[in-house]
Structure formats: structure tokens, C-alpha cells
Structure 1
Amino acid sequence: MTTPYDFPQYVIDRVMAKRGRLTVYDHFEPKRTALLVIDMQNFYVGEIASVVGMIPNINAIARHLRAQGGLVMWVGMTAGADGKSHWPIYHDNFFTPEKGANHRDQLSPGHPGHAFHKDLDIEPGDEVLYKSRFSPFIAGASNIEEVLQARGIDSLIVTGTATNMCCESAARDAMMRNYKVIMVSDANGARYPEDHLAGLTSFYQSFGDVRTTQEVIRDVLP
């Protein structure tokens, strides 16, 4: 196969020296696989062309996995409620007061920013889950592992935004919780291509595979 993404050559060289192959996982059992769609909410998606443009790829993977009995999970961020932050250390220290309040309130239930983007194909049988940290696998951030374990899930396909923030955080933590994980290069997105590449590069070297939408549908979940 071709390289899974346009990684710098040193990354490919390190991967090949470490494990002798470009990919770790050739195939996932669909009924034991979940697609995680991370933070595709109006607040995060906005008008970022690269993020809006990948929605058809997310929907395509969701349709394909759903048809094979796999689980589709739409994972959003809930940062606060009723003007109170669920994550004060983040809002109080990493934003100006105005921007912290904006992040908290737009990602509170009932605000339009909290809603998932209208072009996402969310079906009644899918799971919708909210987290209070970048990664849903952090203790107390969500009940994601209860949901996955109830379905016998051991493999995850991670998509969404931002590649180098919540998507990478979730994907790394999932691998360290003993899930097999793939990030999808053209179904994760970030505001800047440099951030996108940084997230994928970091993940690929030690945490899992990076594949394209076509490869996931054709090869991983045939």
C-alpha cells in the first residue's frame, strides 16, 4: 500500500525501523468496531472549509459501518451549563475572560453552538454522547467505556475535529485503554494543515494507524 498520509520521510523511516510495516491493523471486525465522530458541533466546525469538506467522508464511513452492524457514536463537548464551567482550570487559565465565557456558554446544552452540524447523518440507532474534557476516556469525562463494553467493542475509528486536540487526545487514550485505533486522515480536520499533520504524525508513530476513508471502507471494513 501507499504511505497512509503525506508524512515526512523521517516518520516513515522511524515507523519502519520500529515495527517493520506501515500499518498495524489490516482488518477490523465490524460488529466489534465503533466509529467515533468527535466534536463536529457548530461551535467547532464553523465555516472552516477543511472541516466542513470532510463531512461526506464521515457520513460515508458511518453508513458503511452501520450497515455491517457496527456502532456509530457522535461524541460532543459540553463545557458548561447555566453559566457554570465544567472545566474551570481550562476556562480560567487558557482564555481571556471573554473567550472563556464564550467557549463555556456556546458549548452548553441549548446553545446553537452545542448542536451537531446539520449535514451529519445521525441515525436513531446511533449513540450520542457528550464529554467534559478533550478526551472522553478521561475518568469522569463521559461514560464512553460503559457503552463500548456493553457492545463488545474493541476497535475504534476516530474522525472529527480538531485533529491535534480532541481527536488525537481521544485516540491516544483509547489505545492506552487497550482499544485498537485508526485515525482517518481525510475525515479528521483542523483549522491549519500544520496542526492536522502534527496530530496525525504524533499519533501514527506510537498509538495506531492512519488510513484514508477509502482504505477504511475498502480494506479495514470490507
Structure 2
Amino acid sequence: MDAQKIIPSRTALFLLNLQVMYAKIDPSLDALMVHTGTVIKAAQRQGITIVHCRVAFTESEAADIPDTNPNFSHVKYDPSRAAMYSIDSSAAAFHPAVAPEDGDIVIRKNRSGPFFNAPQDVHAILQERGIDTLLVGGVSTGGAVVATVV
């Protein structure tokens, strides 16, 4: 049996939480962001679509976070965290080393994973582009990456 091959036109490099706030929390992540920028360029040269996904909340989304959500319930009650995760916050922006470019897919999530409870239908966005293979990476591999893969 032939090994499955990655078909660039049907593949996306799906990057999660590569945001300014995480590099501020852990400055060592700056190097990760810069390295990921080189990975993005290599994927683009191969014709692979880049998907940038960030976590950020509107005021109403923050108010709707369940108290039982261990990852984000603090956003609901802590004004400094709410400001950091605000959809318009510079902290919630993509890190400059991995900033989206024309033609990239840009999505936002308001939970750990982007496929459920997201403000947009991520599956439909990928289907529209004919993408059926994801290469997943990002910050918070035990949270965002796992939630996306699962």
C-alpha cells in the first residue's frame, strides 16, 4: 500500500494561539514565534494554506463563559484578564512574527478548540477551500492543539 502523501492544495497549516499575550507571559515564546514564521514561509512555498486562529472574546461572549470553564472563566470576573482577551486588545493580536498575510484564513475562537462554540463555522471555511488535511501546531499544546485535534 502506498503511503499517504500530503497534497499541498488540500492541506492547511493550522496555527493556534500565536498571540502577543502568550509571548508576554512567557518571553521564551518569542523564539517559537520567529521560528514558526519560517515554517509558515516554507509551507507557503509548497502551496499549503495557512490558518491563523486566536482566542479572543466580545463582551457578550465573555459574559457567557460558563463558571465551570477552567481555562477562561477568569475572563468573566477579572477585568485585567477581560481586557487582555478582548477582541480589540493588542495583547490578543497575532504575534508580529506570524501575522496573517493576504490569502491566509483568519479565525477566532472563544474556547480551547475552534470547531465547537466558535463565532464562525471553521469546518465550512476549510471545506470551501477544499482542505481535508491539517497540520496543527501552536501555543498551549495540552489545551488548544489537543482540543483542535480531538
Scaled to the shorter chain, the TM-score interval is 0.7 to 0.9
1:213 — aligned with what? none
Q: Once the two structures are superposed, what CA deviation does each residue of 1:110-144 show, in whole Å capped at 9, x if it has no partner?
A: 21211111222421221111011110011545321
- Aligned-partner SS, 2:96: coil
Contact 1:91/1:100 (CA < 8 Å) preserved in 2?
Answer: no
Structure 2 residue ranges without an equivalent (≥5):
none
- The secondary structure found in structure 2 opposite 1:89 is coil
Aligned pairs for 1:16-35 within 5 A: 27-35=5-13
Structure 1 residue 99: Cα displacement: 6.3
Counterpart of 1:135 in structure 2 is 113
Alpha-carbon spacing, 1:156–1:50, altered in 2? closer, same or farther (3 Å) = farther
The answer to whether structure 1 residue 118 and structure 2 residue 92 are counterparts is no
**Whole-angstrom distance in 1 between the partners of 2:145 and 2:71:** 22
| Alignment RMSD | 2.9
Displacement after TM superposition at 1:89 (Å): 2.9
Unaligned runs of 5+ residues in structure 1 are 1-24, 173-222
Task: Give percent identity, aligned residues only.
Answer: 24
Q: What is residue 9 of structure 1 aligned with on the other side?
A: none
The answer to whether the Cα contact below 8 Å between 2:62 and 2:75 also exists between their aligned partners in 1 is: no
Q: What's the TM-score, normalizing by structure 2?
A: 0.81
The separation in 2 between residues aligned to 1:93 and 1:57, in whole angstroms, is: 26
Query: Which residue is equivalent to 1:106?
Result: 84
1:85 maps to: 63
Q: Contact conserved, 2:12 with 2:135, CA < 8 A, in 1?
A: yes
* TM-score, scaled to structure 1: 0.57
Correspondence for 1:41: 19
Give the direction of change, closer, same or farther, for the CA distance of 1:99–1:163 in structure 2 (3 Å limit).
farther
Amino acid at match of 1:36: F
- Out of 161, 168, 173, the residue aligned to residue 146 of structure 2 is 168
Contact 2:55 2:111 in 1 (8 A): yes
- Tell me if the contact between 2:114 and 2:148 (Cα under 8 Å) persists in the aligned partners: yes
Contact kept, 8 Å, 2:63 with 2:76, in 1: the verdict is no
Equivalent residue pairs, number = 148
| Residue 67, structure 1, aligned to residue 40, structure 2 | no
Q: What is the distance in 1 between the residues matched to 2:120 and 2:6?
A: 25
| Partner SS state of residue 97, structure 2 | coil
Aligned partners of 1:96 and 1:75: how far apart in 2?
21
Write the distance in 1 (CA, Å) between the matches of 2:102 and 2:32.
Answer: 22
Larger Rg: 1
